[in-house]
Amino acid sequence: MTRSYLTGAARIAEAERLAPLYRDGAKIREIAAVTGRSYGGTRALLLLAGVKLRQRGGEPRPMPLKVPGRDR
C-alpha cells in the first residue's frame, strides 16, 4: 500500500489523532503497524502533536529491595 505525504492541516489532524493512542500506552511500532506508516513517520507525527516520548525500555523498574544483613 502506498501512502501519500501528509501536509498542512491533514498532517496536523493525523498527528492529533495518533497522540492519544501513544499517551494511552501504545508503542510507536504498534501505531505505525496499524496506520501503515513507518516508525520514523509515526514518531515525527507524535512529536508534531507535542507528545512527550517515553524512554526506551519503558518505565524504569523499581530498585531491588535491600534487606540489612544480607549480601544478596
pLDDT at 66: 57
For residue range 25-71, list pLDDT tens digits in order: 999 999 999 999 999 999 999 999 999 999 887 665 566 655 556 55
| pTM confidence score | 0.73
The DSSP output letter for 57 is T
* Cα distance between residue 4 and residue 17, in whole Å: 17
Q: pLDDT tens-digit profile of 1-34?
A: 556 788 999 999 999 999 999 999 999 999 999 9
- 35's CB contacts (< 8 A; 6+ apart) are 18, 42
* Percent helix, percent strand, percent coil in the chain, to nearest 5: 45, 0, 55
pLDDT of residue 56: 82
Whole-number pLDDT of residue 71: 58
Count of beta carbons in the 10 Å neighbourhood of residue 66: 7
